[in-house]
């Protein structure tokens, strides 16, 4: 419908995401399914639909930018479905890059660190947990959503035409520690 109304889409940014927090032994199936459906299943089928449109038009190129997380690389605490979804997203980013790179579709991801969003509100509201996290971030602050813009522009631009399957951390140095 969007392509019919506005024309061909060249860039898909998969940015939808939710989080639920509970110890793994107490995590409910409903919470698990809700997070996996939004964070992983939706990403896969949106990417599939986008790729089908791009691949159906010879010579057309496309870019997919997935929003991963530092928890794509780490286990996390009390966020089992989120961690599983973001780890799966990293794997799907690589898989899609492998399948579609030679066909004109770049698939990459940004892995934000701890960002000031509604998903981190509970962590920021807990003075002890927030201080623990800030001590580990070399930049010494929570990221702002705008901190992701440059990475997203790069991965969507022609400057990244030979970049495939990359998961680019934008984390204030979190993973360097």
> Where does residue 113 fall: left (phi above 0), alpha (psi -120 to 50 degrees), or beta otherwise?
beta
What phi, psi does 105 have (nearest 5°)?
-120, 120
**Listed residue (41, 25, 24, 22) closest to 33, CA to CA:** 41
Q: Of how many residues is the chain composed? A: 177
Per-state percent for the chain, helix, strand, coil, to nearest 5: 55, 15, 30
Supply the residues annotated as catalytic.
Answer: 82
d(CA 141, CA 116): 10
Six token digits for residue 109: 């991801």
Instruction: Say how many CA atoms lie within 13 Å of 13 toward its Cβ.
Output: 13
**Listed residue (64, 39, 76) closest to 174, CA to CA:** 76
């Amino acid at each position: 419908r969007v392509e019919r109304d506005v024309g061909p889409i060249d860039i898909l940014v998969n940015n939808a995401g939710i989080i639920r927090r509970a110890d793994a032994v107490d995590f409910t199936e409903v919470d698990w399914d809700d997070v996996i459906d939004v964070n992983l299943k939706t990403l896969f089928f949106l990417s599939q639909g986008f790729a089908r449109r791009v691949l159906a038009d010879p010579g057309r190129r496309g870019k997919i930018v997935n929003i991963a997380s530092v928890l794509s690389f780490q286990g996390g605490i009390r966020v089992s479905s989120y961690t599983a979804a973001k780890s799966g997203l990293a794997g799907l980013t690589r898989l899609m890059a492998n399948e579609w790179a030679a066909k004109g579709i770049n698939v990459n991801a940004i892995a934000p660190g701890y960002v000031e969003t509604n998903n981190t509100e509970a962590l920021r509201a807990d003075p002890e947990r927030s201080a623990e996290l800030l001590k580990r971030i070399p930049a010494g602050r929570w990221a702002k959503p705008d901190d992701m813009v440059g990475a997203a522009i790069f991965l969507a631009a022609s400057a990244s035409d030979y970049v495939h399957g990359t998961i680019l951390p934008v984390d204030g140095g979190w993973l360097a520690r």
